[in-house]
Amino acid sequence: MKTDFLRLIPLLLGISLQACIVYYLDNLEKIGCVCAMNGKRMFIFAFAIFSILLNTVQLFTDKLPTYLAKYPIALAGIAALGISYIVVTLIYIEDIKKANCNCSESVFRDMMYYLSIISACLWGFIVVFFVSGLYQLYILNKHLKQIISSLDK
């Protein structure tokens, strides 16, 4: 097992942040914060636990990325769930703010909101980078075809 310190930092940070989210969402139920109870909360809660489990597995083995590379559909599914998690979290927090849900006010709620915005921006950069890369490959392919056709003449 590779115990690279730089690999452990984001995993431990991710586990800690998701544990805070689980704590916050569980506490909303314990204090009886009815205005914050809905299906979005359950999805966020379930995904946070899934994320903790996934990151914990990665702490003890570095084989998970290799496994996921063999099954791109699993990787795409996790990415789709991650994007859904971001969107649902943003909508959930906006909903409880609009409902003036005072019992949900917490530093954890603000943390969830800002982390979701940061995550959405990162996903946006990834999409722009990917589309830009595909466009560059298309242009390169087009130019190479022109060069090859001019050499054949």
pLDDT, one tens digit per residue, over 27-41 is: 999 999 999 999 999
- Is 130 within the bounds of a domain? no
- Is 42 within the bounds of a domain? yes
- Is 129 within the bounds of a domain? no
- Is 139 within the bounds of a domain? no
Quick one: pLDDT at residue 116? 94
Quick one: pLDDT at residue 60? 86
The pair of structure tokens assigned to 88 is 């649902």
Q: What is the pLDDT of residues 95-107, one digit of tens each?
A: 999 999 999 999 9
Does 92 score more than 70 pLDDT? yes
How far is 58 from 52, CA to CA, in rounded Å? 10
Quick one: pLDDT at residue 41? 96
Quick one: pLDDT at residue 7? 77
The phi and psi torsions of 35 (rounded to 5 degrees) equal: -70, -15
- Is 142 within the bounds of a domain? no
Q: What is the pLDDT of residues 117-145, one digit of tens each?
A: 999 999 999 999 999 999 999 898 888 88
Q: Which residue has the higher pLDDT, 97 or 1?
A: 97
Model confidence, pTM? 0.81
- Is 95 within the bounds of a domain? yes
- Is 43 within the bounds of a domain? yes
- 8 Å CB contact between 13 and 59: no
**Percentage of the chain with pLDDT > 90?**
66
- 8 Å CB contact between 126 and 146: no
Q: How many CB atoms lie within 10 A of CB 70?
A: 8
What's the structural domain count of the chain?
1
- Is 136 within the bounds of a domain? no
Domain residues for the domain of 61 are: 5-124
